[in-house]
């Protein structure tokens, strides 16, 4: 029986995690405890060719993920299989983690940029008709466009699409319901062929980042900066709660408490 889509607001917590050389081993342990097989082999291969790695983490917080987001003191017992309250580690006051809470509304999406700043130039290469083609984008920044659709079985279907924002801000006139409006935005290249679709339950996570420090493609362009030595970022997104008025209120999870504070990105 297929899931029926219903209207609902999805709340997620987004963790932007800087991975230092000292954390490479912890990250590898995290990938070992993450389900990458949730995507089929052909699509995983396509992501790897672009330097991307993706997987789903269960609703029981693993030690590697807890270490990377500076969480300690988790309770052993869970309620209905969801993550319980988590305690702050006072000794983990560093700037390697930035946390944001986001609401994803029906029919709308949100952008998750690993870096707030742009790079002067970003050159992309691809194969076309057995030839190597390339294009250079000025003032570019990579990001992930995510949307969420509540399913009748309490699952939430996420859609994650890489996008490249570049160039100068342009003003566009849009029409909706016979109302004209002006929108200022930069041009974007959307990598539709790399769109990831995955179902999550409350408490579960999806993790995305570069496949290796020296990867190529989107993995490097989006998650690695040349001025950082063997450092890069990953993004971890946790499904916290679902508000579904058509079927009543869903279980709510307490927010993850970390040593990081919500702030504008400084790195």
Q: What is the pLDDT of residues 50-67, one digit of tens each?
A: 999 999 999 888 999 999
Give the pLDDT confidence score for residue 189 in this predicted structure. 93
**Percentage of the chain with pLDDT > 70?**
77
First to last CA, the chain: 46
- Residue 245 is predicted with a pLDDT of 60
- The answer on pLDDT for 7 being more than 90 is no
3-state secondary structure of 137: strand
| Residue 263 pLDDT class (50, 70, 90 cuts) | very low
pLDDT digits (tens, 9 = 90+) for 243-255: 876 544 444 455 5
Residue 189 token pair: 């290249």
User: Do the beta carbons of residue 100 and residue 262 sit within 8 Å?
Assistant: yes
Show me where the domains of the chain are located: 5-117+146-164+193-249
Distance CA 49, CA 220 (A): 11
Rounded to whole angstroms, what are the CA distances from 243 to 186, 194, 203?
A: 32, 29, 14
CA distance linking residue 23 with residue 153, whole number of Å: 37
């Amino acid at each position: 029986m297929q899931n029926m889509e219903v209207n609902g607001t999805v709340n997620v917590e987004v963790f932007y995690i800087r991975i230092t050389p000292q954390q490479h081993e912890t990250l590898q342990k995290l990938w070992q405890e993450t389900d990458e097989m949730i995507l089929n082999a052909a699509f995983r291969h396509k992501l790897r060719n672009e330097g991307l790695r993706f997987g789903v983490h269960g609703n029981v917080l693993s030690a590697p993920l807890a270490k990377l987001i500076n969480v300690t003191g988790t309770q052993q017992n869970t309620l209905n299989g969801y993550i319980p309250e988590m305690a702050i580690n006072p000794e983990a006051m560093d700037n390697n983690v930035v946390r944001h809470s986001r609401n994803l509304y029906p029919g709308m999406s949100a952008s998750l940029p690993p870096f707030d700043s742009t790079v002067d130039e970003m050159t992309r290469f691809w194969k076309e008709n057995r030839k190597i083609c390339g294009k250079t984008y000025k003032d570019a920044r990579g990001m992930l466009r995510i949307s969420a659709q509540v399913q009748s079985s309490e699952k939430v279907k996420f859609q994650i699409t890489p996008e490249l924002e570049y160039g100068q801000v342009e003003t566009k006139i849009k029409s909706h319901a016979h109302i004209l409006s002006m929108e200022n935005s930069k041009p974007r290249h959307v990598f539709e062929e790399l769109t990831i679709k995955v179902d999550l339950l409350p408490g579960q996570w999806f993790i995305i980042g570069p496949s290796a420090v020296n990867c190529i493609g989107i993995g490097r362009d989006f998650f690695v900066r040349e001025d950082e030595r063997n450092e890069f970022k990953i993004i971890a997104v946790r499904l916290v709660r679902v508000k579904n008025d058509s079927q009543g209120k869903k279980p709510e999870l307490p927010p993850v408490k970390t040593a990081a504070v919500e702030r504008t990105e400084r790195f």
